[in-house]
Structure 1
Amino acid sequence: MKCPPWPKGKKLVHLDLKGAPPRVEYLNRLIELFSQLGVDGLLVEYEDMFPYEGELKLLQATAQPAYSREEVLSVQELARSKGMEVIPLVQTFGHMEFVLKHRPMWPLRELSHCVGTLNPHKEDGVKLVMEMLRQVVELHPDLNTLHIGADEVYMLGEGEESKLWLGSPGCTVEQLFLSHVTKVAKAIKEAWPHMTIIMWDDMMRSMSQDTLKASGLVGLVQPMLWDYTPDLDVDKTVSLLEKYCSAGMSDLWAASSFKGSTSVYTCVTGTQRHVENHLQWLNVAASLSAGVNLKGIAITGWQRYDHLSVLCELLPVALPSLAACLQTLLHGQFSAETQSKVTDRLGISSVEVEAMGRTSSGDLLFPGRRLAELIVELNSLLDSEDIRFFENNMFVRGWFSPYQRQRRTVTPLITMQIHSQASTYLAMLQQKAEAVREQMVHVYPDSTAQEWIEEHVSPVMAPLQRITEEIGACVKEMVP
């Protein structure tokens, strides 16, 4: 079905740097590609990769160095030269795991065991986020727009101070949320009167129009409504955007997804799922009343669900999905013509990374293509039932069970065959993993390659290694 193309407004690509932060050389190649794909701006979530200074220096990553001040400036300069705006995203309420995990910051948690939520009653909390914002703004010359996060503020109202506060008449968790965000937004406007402020919308979805009108946020912030599902409910989303508009928040944003929203540990991006999400967003945009001023859409690419979760798909495997989603927005549909624009632009035979085909022409059109190919190949091996469920195969369960291993009563002939098969699988995995690592360190820090292999490859290899070692020990006792 064809919709009108995405209406006026910016198409932002979200760069989530809280996991697998690309080397700056690779970021520069991505920016070149993004400009060819029609991207208008970058929504950059630095987290611990920002070069915080002074008392905030402890927020910098330790697994790999944070980007230097010069690198942050050079990336902006290249983006600006391509006509792209850079909008930093700095969390100021929820998802502050990268801040509140540090011992000196523990007293600022809403609840001791909830690492992500800031205590809204402590003045030091507002001072902290304002200092974070001040350092980010200072390193972004001519900045006009800031995203202050504020999504998924888990356990809000559960802390002791909040419970006391909620005991007063008329005090609700909704008011508690709104008062903190309003305080932060007002402080930003005081420091930088020209600044446009965007925030995630999810904490406001169940609030009434009257609550929003009375919140003090009207005229201060522009909500960004996010939904990453392929079966996004169009009517519900339209009515939500209309509600925000009726409450006085007529400047609104959408947020879709090109990766990082399928499951928390996905390795390979499926393009069709993300295209369907964008087709639904096109339906939403086409159904809005004239009063809603859609400022644009942020196409998110989460690298982790939160600071302490595992890595989602890496950027190179998601580039076909991103290109397909952008073309879908530009054309209002995902036709054969739209698909061929993607395949021609990236030099691939299919928009699905698993079927994109091997080429020897290098990856000039597709930065990180070889890494994407190798990850697809390795992922296919890791998912094969013969390898993943090796311990459950008939021979292992029948002739090398835990009982037999413990008593060293095994049939040498069959166990040696098991050993041979396990060794073959191990060698295949080791070879592919080494090839992935070799390519990955060109694009990412060594720590990312290490983490990816330990998360995805090591758990599959461990049972095979254990079996080969145990068979060696058993056979030694039974064969002269």
Structure 2
Amino acid sequence: MRHSHWVTCGSCTNKTKRLPPRARLLYSSWGGQPLSFRARGSRPRAPASYGQVRGYLFTGSSDRMACPPWPTGRRLVHLDLKGAPPRMEYLLKLIQVFSELGVEGLLVEYEDMFPYGGELQLLQATAQPAYSREDLLLLQDCARSAGLEVIPLVQTFGHMEFVLKHQSMRHLREVPHCLGTLNPHKEEAVKVVLEMLRQVVELHPGVKTLHIGADEVYLLGEGEDSRRWLASPGRTVEQLFLDHVTKVAKAVKEAWPHVTVIMWDDMMREMSGETLKACGLVGLVQPMLWDYNPNLDVEQTVSLLEKYSGAGLSELWAASCFKGSTAVDTCVTSTQSHVDNHLQWLKVAASVSAAVNLKGIAITGWQRYDHLSVLCELMPVALPSLASCLQTLIHGHFAHEAGSRVKELLGVSSVEVEAMERTAADDSRFPGRRLAESIVEISFLLNSEELRFFENNKFVRGWFSPFQRRRKMANPLMCMQIHSQASTYAAALQQKAAAVREEMLRFYPDATAQEWMEEHVGPVMTPIQRIMEETGACVNTQ
């Protein structure tokens, strides 16, 4: 459960003390009357002991303690680099932290941060330089030294936005208005995919496993080429999908026989066991079943895994989530939601038959929902969630022992990033901690009703409405008071934003900091600045 708390000035200090220090927002007065900020969506200070609040401790019912730890198989962490790509120095620090937290491999989704060459060079990012070849070799060396396998993820069918957004690739779309789905009928499209795979594999010497994506292939079958193909009797969209991924998987196995191929499962969920058994993927791929819901349907998920296994696809993976799945524009990660997802996955693992060979679990951390959506939470604010999810898998629950281990590993007072106490200690155990704290602080400010809805407060609505502005009928005295309050709010926000930006640039390129500010600070700051300008003009002209 999330809570709202009031922060007041004057004599009401007892209410102020109920909030974490970062939530004690700047306040001032309006005509001598106290003002208050409500930190919407804020959390109270973490309780003194475990078991008091389920939202922090996740120990509420006995069934949460009933599962064994995650069975044998690798625990992977997903690095989504298609948004907010960390500076390489930060990535190398994260790898060391991941290893200490219990991670056994990295599922790396490069997208436009891979240094594609030749005719594919146009796929490289332009907002910031792609990683260099030397960068990626260094990353692999660091991972190998920490005992982590690096598994590249290359999209080969759906979510091809970073490829198909380019005008020179436009003709390879399934339908003109969908940038994500490749036209599987065009030989050039298949050649582009295979060349992408070749370049990625060759820059990963000794690679053992490759993920070919293939999730969310939207509007497949809607293109003109597909409609003509489907017009022949007996042909289906399911067959169209399976033909393409089989072609890609076979090409990978022919070029690199030693490489294990993983693919997302969602496009196969509605297919019958008979269709899957006859499709040609058996022995070629290992499906990875993803579900990030904190209320994951255990029975349905077990049934799906059993169906895949019964069709011959018995080597399977799970995919959970530690960030980037609760809302498209989330700034601050909720540990509870993601731990709940892992508790459900533990129930799934404990319920499947021996015929299901779970090869491991990928704990995904999405940075964008897709290439063209806004940024999700940055890695620093999600590290407590990741650590908690890993300890949940290791212990089979998230009770006192697991929670204490998270706090020990990261040197934090709470598993919820919003409830952590500020500290002057170094961040060697939690790289990016100060950035996480700064983001939490500014998020409280950005979500306060007084700032976010400043244009709708009673003084602006009553004495500086659009009608009054157009007719220049505003009361100068009230304009001065409105201007003063807007200036106070703007100054507080600018100060916090400058601190966040400065800290963010230590870990991310300038383009990431700029995007984050425009997406989160801009929508709140711009209306306040507009009111400042208009009230200032009103005072000066009367």
TM interval, shorter chain, is over 0.9
Q: For residues 261-314 of structure 1, what are the alpha-carbon distances to aligned partners after superposition, in whole Å with 9 as ceiling and x for unaligned?
A: 001000000000000000000000000100110000000000000000000000
**By how many angstroms is 1:413 displaced?**
1.1
Q: For residues 145-191 of structure 1, what are the alpha-carbon distances to aligned partners after superposition, in whole Å with 9 as ceiling and x for unaligned?
A: 00000000000000001011111111100000000000101111111
Residue of structure 1 in register with 2:134 after alignment:
70
Q: For residues 179-236 of structure 1, what are the alpha-carbon distances to aligned partners after superposition, in whole Å with 9 as ceiling and x for unaligned?
A: 0000101111111111100000000000000000110011100000000010000000
CA–CA distance in 1 between the matches of 2:488 and 2:241?
Answer: 56
CA–CA distance in 1 between the matches of 2:459 and 2:400?
Answer: 48
CA–CA distance in 2 between the matches of 1:13 and 1:360?
Answer: 29
Residue of structure 2 in register with 1:26 after alignment:
90
Return the match for 2:154 from 90, 93, 98.
90
**By how many angstroms is 1:48 displaced?**
0.2
Aligned residues of 2:497 and 2:517 also touching (Cα < 8 A): yes
Residue of structure 2 in register with 1:225 after alignment:
289
Aligned residues of 2:479 and 2:536 also touching (Cα < 8 A): no
Residue of structure 2 in register with 1:250 after alignment:
314
2:271 aligned partner, one-letter code: M
Aligned residues of 1:388 and 1:460 also touching (Cα < 8 A): yes
SS in 2 for 1:111: coil
Aligned residues of 1:339 and 1:351 also touching (Cα < 8 A): yes
Aligned residues of 1:64 and 1:445 also touching (Cα < 8 A): yes
CA–CA distance in 2 between the matches of 1:152 and 1:458?
Answer: 32
**What is the 5 A alignment of 1:93-132?**
93-132=157-196
**What is the 5 A alignment of 1:232-381?**
232-381=296-445
SS in 2 for 1:224: strand
SS in 2 for 1:15: strand
Aligned residues of 1:16 and 1:301 also touching (Cα < 8 A): yes
Aligned residues of 1:12 and 1:39 also touching (Cα < 8 A): yes
Q: Which runs of structure 1 show a deviation greater than 6 angstroms over 4 or more consecutive aligned residues? A: none
SS in 1 for 2:180: strand
Return the match for 1:432 from 482, 496, 508.
496
CA–CA distance in 2 between the matches of 1:168 and 1:477?
Answer: 75
**What is the 5 A alignment of 1:186-205?**
186-205=250-269
2:88 aligned partner, one-letter code: V
Matching of residue 392 in structure 1 with residue 456 in structure 2 = yes
Aligned residues of 1:408 and 1:477 also touching (Cα < 8 A): no
SS in 1 for 2:332: coil
Aligned residues of 1:100 and 1:109 also touching (Cα < 8 A): yes
Residue of structure 1 in register with 2:31 after alignment:
none
Residue of structure 2 in register with 1:152 after alignment:
216
Matching of residue 469 in structure 1 with residue 537 in structure 2 = no
Residue of structure 2 in register with 1:457 after alignment:
521
CA–CA distance in 1 between the matches of 2:349 and 2:420?
Answer: 31
1:134 aligned partner, one-letter code: R
CA–CA distance in 2 between the matches of 1:395 and 1:39?
Answer: 54
CA–CA distance in 2 between the matches of 1:348 and 1:384?
Answer: 26
Residue of structure 1 in register with 2:114 after alignment:
50
Residue of structure 2 in register with 1:10 after alignment:
74
1:464 aligned partner, one-letter code: I
Residue of structure 2 in register with 1:167 after alignment:
231
The structure in which a higher percent of residues are helix is 1
Q: For residues 92-131 of structure 1, what are the alpha-carbon distances to aligned partners after superposition, in whole Å with 9 as ceiling and x for unaligned?
A: 0000000000111001000000000000101111110000
1:314 aligned partner, one-letter code: L
**What is the 5 A alignment of 1:433-448?**
433-448=497-512
Say how many residue pairs are matched: 478
1:311 aligned partner, one-letter code: L
2:168 aligned partner, one-letter code: P
**By how many angstroms is 1:459 displaced?**
1.0
**By how many angstroms is 1:362 displaced?**
1.9
Matching of residue 133 in structure 1 with residue 197 in structure 2 = yes
2:519 aligned partner, one-letter code: E
1:151 aligned partner, one-letter code: D
**By how many angstroms is 1:250 displaced?**
0.4
CA–CA distance in 2 between the matches of 1:400 and 1:336?
Answer: 54
CA–CA distance in 2 between the matches of 1:126 and 1:107?
Answer: 13
Aligned residues of 2:79 and 2:108 also touching (Cα < 8 A): yes
State the superposition RMSD in angstroms: 0.5
CA–CA distance in 1 between the matches of 2:524 and 2:335?
Answer: 26
CA–CA distance in 2 between the matches of 1:195 and 1:78?
Answer: 21
TM-score by length of 2: 0.88
SS in 1 for 2:413: coil
SS in 1 for 2:485: helix
CA–CA distance in 1 between the matches of 2:398 and 2:208?
Answer: 33
Q: For residues 422-475 of structure 1, what are the alpha-carbon distances to aligned partners after superposition, in whole Å with 9 as ceiling and x for unaligned?
A: 111100111101000000011000100000001100111010000010111111
CA–CA distance in 1 between the matches of 2:408 and 2:480?
Answer: 50
CA–CA distance in 2 between the matches of 1:110 and 1:164?
Answer: 13
Residue of structure 1 in register with 2:242 after alignment:
178
Q: For residues 384-437 of structure 1, what are the alpha-carbon distances to aligned partners after superposition, in whole Å with 9 as ceiling and x for unaligned?
A: 001000111000000000000111111111111111111111001111010000
CA–CA distance in 2 between the matches of 1:337 and 1:35?
Answer: 19
TM-score by length of 1: 0.99
Identity of aligned residues (%): 75
Aligned residues of 1:110 and 1:156 also touching (Cα < 8 A): yes
Return 5+ residue gaps in structure 2 as ranges: 1-63
Q: For residues 305-330 of structure 1, what are the alpha-carbon distances to aligned partners after superposition, in whole Å with 9 as ceiling and x for unaligned?
A: 00000000000000000000000000
SS in 1 for 2:355: coil
SS in 2 for 1:458: helix
CA–CA distance in 1 between the matches of 2:223 and 2:421?
Answer: 53
**By how many angstroms is 1:381 displaced?**
0.2
CA–CA distance in 2 between the matches of 1:421 and 1:324?
Answer: 41
**By how many angstroms is 1:364 displaced?**
1.2
